[in-house]
Chain A
Amino acid sequence: MNYINEMKIQFLNKSVNEGLARVAVASFCAQLDLTVETVADIKTAVSEAVTNAIVHGYENMSGFVTVCCVYNLKEIEITVSDYGRGIEDIDEARRPLFTSSPDEERSGMGFTVMETFMDSLEVKSSVGMGTTVIMRKKVQV
Chain B
Amino acid sequence: MTIDVMGEAMIIRPKGELDHHYAQEIREKADKIILKGEIRKVIFDFTNVLFMDSSGIGVIMGRYRLMEAIKGSVCAFGANERIKRLIKMSGLSRVITLCPNQQKALEVK
Could you tell me which A residues sit within 8 Å of B by CB distance? 15-16, 18-19, 22, 40, 43-44, 47-48, 51, 54-55, 97, 104-107, 109-110, 112-113, 116
- Majority-rule SS of B interface residues: helix
Nearest Cβ on chain B to A62's Cβ, whole angstroms: 16
Are A51 and B53 in touch, CB under 8 angstroms? yes
In the bound complex, what is the Cα–Cα distance between A40 and B90 (angstroms)? 18
Nearest Cβ on chain A to B76's Cβ, whole angstroms: 15
Residues of chain A contacted by B91 (CB below 8 angstroms): 97
Could you tell me which B residues sit within 8 Å of A by CB distance? 17, 19-21, 23-24, 27, 51, 53-55, 57-59, 61-62, 82, 86, 89-91
Q: Which chain A residue lies CB-closest to B20?
A: A51
In the bound complex, what is the Cα–Cα distance between A130 and B58 (angstroms)? 24
In the bound complex, what is the Cα–Cα distance between A55 and B62 (angstroms)? 17
Given contacts A44-B53, A109-B86, A113-B89, 14 further A-B pairs with CB under 8 A are A15-B20, A18-B21, A19-B21, A22-B17, A22-B51, A47-B51, A48-B53, A97-B91, A105-B27, A107-B57, A107-B61, A109-B90, A112-B89, A113-B54
